[in-house]
Amino acid sequence: MNQILPSKYYLNHAYELFDFVAKQCESLLSDEHKNYLQGISALSEDARCLLIRCLARKPYFIKLSSLSYDEINDIGRAVDELQRNNYLRFATHDDWIKLSQLLTKPQLVKSLVDAPIKIKSSTKKAELVDHAQQYVSGKEAHLSSLLSSMVVKQRGDLIEYIFFLFFGDIRNRFQQFAMRDLGVMKTRKEAKNVARFEHIAEAQSAFELQKRRRDFSLNPSELKEQTADYLIGCNVIGHSAKETYDRLLLNVGNQLADSDAEKAITLWKMSDEPAATEKWVRESYTRFDRDDLHATLLKMREADLSPRIKVFIEDFYARKYQAKRTSIFTDMLREASNTIPLDEAFTNDVEDGVIAHYRQCGIDAYFTENKFWRVLFALTFWDLLFGPQQTQFSEFDRLPTQLKNNSFYTLQNEKIEQCLALFSSHSLSDKKTLLSRLTQRSAIHYGKPNGLFNWSPGLLDTIQLAITHDTAPALAMVLRRMAKHYANTKDGYPDLMVIENRQLRFEEIKAPGDVLRANQLVSINRLRSAGIKVNLTQIEWATNPEQTYAVVDIETTGGRKGGNAITEIAVVQVRAQEIVSEWSSLVNPQRHIPAHITRLTGIDNAMVASAPIFAEIADLLEQQLEGAIFVAHNVGFDYGFIKAAYESINRSFKKPKFCTVSNSRKSFPGLKSYSLGALTEHFDIDLVSHHRALSDAKATADLLRLIQETRQSQSIA
């Protein structure tokens, strides 16, 4: 149950954070940091409350007028106390450059009242900021009231570092305490909280690099040279600092690529990010000595590199130095074992379309992708990852510490192998024992945050199928690799698990225009090396004669979802361009039908008085739509109302959509109108009772068949 927070809840949160930092991170604090924290305890309660309120805010400047809190007795006195103790200060003319960037257009215009330029109403804000910084010093008398209305947090680096020690980054995440207490955010409470850094040099290295990355992201063009020089000369200490350093090298190199390719390459070479390696290799080949690069690549082919980089180097070397005409990604796609025709309505739901196709063919298929492997990994090693004996940096850190710093297998290899022992057995009893353990862990820990996956019903269904189909020994090999280097093995897994003729395989689905990414190729090879069958399936957009299209039309009490409801619904099923079924029902909207709607549809309040409400026909409607593409004339209208109706009874609704309006425009260009009435008249389609659901649905079904015939004739031509 969500809780109501006490009036000064944030003080307890601050004490919790400060107490942890003072005790667990004492060796990471300088005397200045310690004095800052000790000074807070000496403040009056009003001043402490106001300071924490200010520290929880992200803006650099805080308007005095916004400092209004019922639980603080005297705001003015609290501001004065914080100013005397060097926690807050009023803005001064020295802040003008930074402040000018945050002012509104009217404030900027007012600041330029004495400037020797003419300001037009059409002048853009960016131009006004430039003028303000050029012609205004901040010392002008008419700006004194503006500056005195703003306060600034003093010694910002000190408190930012203290927050950083707790949260691990420089984003102000203080509000997470309140979200936790309100029940909005679940946190990991079982493990013991420890400092995330071993010594102060490691913490300061990570802190400084995060600040550099933030500053660069705000102004990359102006800070690229300065940041590049810093990165080339800085001393990186610790895992956290190295991660930030590698990403920053990549980003700064990207910014420098056009103006200083040589320097960009220098930065990329220093980074362990796979994308940085790809960048410097490609740029070196384009701009510099290819013989030198050839020698470098030969050495890299023999080096111990990450799988993604290894794949890139082998592929690049083969194409550029061995005259191979296609990439290994293209080769793998060309070797796809299957091609499936799907309607373009599945453009955004390709995997769902393939699953529906397989099930129509009597083949079981399930969406798995990355979640299957993360769930199996987490439940297999749950006690080792999340048990009370484990440590964490804070309860807000969801991903286990040992996965973050890649020490899981190194520290717990014997226990990990014990967990995997049951996977290696082909014994039916051992399989049952394994499934029982996974099920038990799922039941005990259901809903707990873990940083690997989100809980949902039926989580173990596909895992149970995989284990019972005798793939457990192969699964163990994949899990072992994940334990050794989770960061490199957590994603890129195939989309589906398919069971055909009692044989299990995984399947990667690629629609037209999709490319095979490096992490996908690596993951596919990893599964195949473990003995798991993985196929690639290509999709071709086509009208599948076996696909069912559910042509839907609804009538409503009004044109907008909010405040209106369905009064009638009809579904006409089309398969192989033939109508195979019709279904319709009046619906009690549980609200008044306006007179103008009755005049339009012919449906009045008396007609729907004894009709079922939507909840009573929801199952019947779902049966009509199951496995079908949702078709309607202006599909967003009908789909939106039906989705909202299902959500009102706490049921989700998701179907692939096909719009006969947009597709008529493509198939029959140049018509004056694409309304249903105009199209039925143009194509001589029967429309007996326009604005009654079944009549409109049948007409739309005829229109759908015309569209499909046109598409087929165009594809043949």
Residue 629's nearest CA partner among 567, 560, 695, 572 is: 572
Q: Give the residue with greater pLDDT, 248 vs 337.
A: 248
pLDDT at residue 411 greater than cutoff 80 = yes
Q: What is the reported pLDDT for 204?
A: 97
- Per-residue model confidence as pLDDT tens digits over 162-204: 999 999 999 989 999 999 999 889 898 877 889 999 999 999 9
Q: Which long-range contacts (CB under 8 A, 24 or more apart) does 408-411 make?
A: 408/381, 408/384, 408/483, 408/484, 408/486, 409/480, 409/483, 409/484, 409/485
pLDDT at residue 1 greater than cutoff 50 = no
Q: What is the reported pLDDT for 425?
A: 78
Domains of the chain: 9-193 (no CATH), 200-332 (no CATH), 340-541 (no CATH), 548-716 (3.30.420.10)
Q: Is 9 exposed, middle or buried (0-12, 13-18, 19+ CB in 10 A)?
A: middle
Report the pLDDT averaged over residues 309-313: 92
- Per-residue model confidence as pLDDT tens digits over 453-483: 999 989 999 999 999 887 889 999 999 999 9
Report the pLDDT averaged over residues 287-312: 92
Q: What is the reported pLDDT for 554?
A: 96
pLDDT at residue 113 greater than cutoff 50 = yes
pLDDT at residue 661 greater than cutoff 80 = yes
From residue 675, give the alpha-carbon distance in Å to each of 305, 416, 571, 633, 689: 60, 64, 19, 8, 15
- Per-residue model confidence as pLDDT tens digits over 373-407: 999 999 999 999 998 888 888 999 989 989 988 99
Residue type, position 532, single letter: I
- Per-residue model confidence as pLDDT tens digits over 429-441: 888 999 999 999 9
pLDDT at residue 717 greater than cutoff 60 = no
**Contact between residue 209 and residue 244 where contact means Cβ atoms under 8 Å apart:** yes
Q: What strands lie across the sheet with 338-342, from one edge to the other?
A: 338-342, 534-541, 503-510, 496-500, 364-367
Mean pLDDT rounded to a whole number for the chain: 92
SS (H, E, C) 385-427: HHCCCCEECCCCCCCCHHHHCCCHHHHHHHHHHHHHHHHHCCC
- Per-residue model confidence as pLDDT tens digits over 134-169: 999 999 999 999 999 999 999 999 999 999 999 999
Q: What is the reported pLDDT for 321?
A: 93
Q: What is the C-alpha separation between 74 and 392, in angstroms, rounded? A: 40
pLDDT at residue 716 greater than cutoff 70 = no
Q: What is the C-alpha separation between 19 and 21, in angstroms, rounded? A: 6
Q: What is the reported pLDDT for 547?
A: 86
- Per-residue model confidence as pLDDT tens digits over 39-62: 999 999 999 999 999 999 988 999
Q: What is the reported pLDDT for 364?
A: 96
pLDDT at residue 561 greater than cutoff 80 = no
Q: 95: pLDDT confidence band, cut at 50, 70 and 90?
A: very high
Helix (H, G, I), strand (E, B) or coil at 260: coil
Report the pLDDT averaged over residues 445-449: 93
Helix (H, G, I), strand (E, B) or coil at 540: strand
Q: What is the reported pLDDT for 691?
A: 86
